[in-house]
Every structure is written in C-alpha cells, then in structure tokens.
Amino acid sequence: MFGELIPLGGGDTIPLRKKTLLIGRRESCDIVLRFPNVSAHHCQLQLDAGYWYIKDQKSRNGVKVNGSRVTDKRLDPGDVISVATHRYTLQYSPMDLGAVGPPPSPGIPTAEVFSKSLLERAGLSKPEKGDKNERYDVLNNEAGQIKDFNKPV
C-alpha cells in the first residue's frame, strides 16, 4: 500500500494500492466516487520518486489542494484534497516510498523533467539531420547545396 485517503467528515479510508490511480464516477476508475458532482474521469493520482502528484482530468467541478484550485500539483503528506465538494486527507510517507533528499520543486514530475535535455527544454537544441538549416556537406559534390540569394525568384 502506497498511502491512503481519509475522508473528512467520516467514512472508510481509501487505500492507495497502485502507483497511478484514476478517480471518478465511472466503474472503470480505480477509485469510484458515486456522486453526481464528480466527473466520470475526475482526476489522476500518480506516484513519482516517492511523492504523490494530482492532475485534474478537465473535470467540471475541479480539484482543490488545501483550498486552492489546481490543475496539477505535488501532494505532501497531510494535504487536504477536494474532489468536487468531497474532501480527503492524504496520508503517506515519502521516505517509505523511495524519496531521497528534499522534496522536488512543485509542479513538474521528475520523469517529465528528465525526459528532455536541458537544451531542448530551453529551446536551444540542434536542428534535426534533415532540417533545411543544415550546412552544406563538404564530401557531397552535388549542385544546389549552397543557396544563392542573388538569384531571382
């Protein structure tokens, strides 16, 4: 078990048994909340590097963390999550789930950060091999490699 959601106002706790959980009204969701104000696919919980993240799935009534509406956010132990009007406290231990060092910066999950190089994230990556901005090939003797800007169009 990777943690639990404790309903505020009473009720059974909801164990978090998988690393990615879909919360919604549909029976196909991992956590089913049978309330009319909960969207079919309301939000997603994802465990990454020992911390839980929540992402709104474009729900009608939204997701709040500690009273502030969010689209995606890192969740700390003890945070209060509101799915529509239903509130839950998230309980888990980052150290038990593999977290090392201080918590990552809020917002972007670590898998997304390391999926691209720093140059790509800054928009400074090299052009692709077949890109038109490529320099001419010294070993290729074909005509037309250098653009003649003096030529009329």
Q: State percent of the chain over pLDDT 70.
A: 81
Beta strands in the chain (DSSP E): 4-7, 14-15, 20-24, 31-32, 43-48, 51-56, 63-65, 68-70, 72-75, 80-83, 86-91
**pTM over cut 0.75:** no
Task: Give the model confidence (pLDDT) of 108-123 as tens digits.
Answer: 556 666 677 778 777 7
Statement: residue 133 has pLDDT above 80: no
b vs e for 79-102, b when ≥16 Cβ sit within 10 Å of the residue's Cβ?
Answer: bebbbbebbbebebebeebebeee
pLDDT, average across residues 101-114: 66
Q: What is the pLDDT of residue 109?
A: 58
- pLDDT band at residue 106 under the 50/70/90 scheme: low
Q: Which residue has the higher pLDDT, 49 or 144?
A: 49
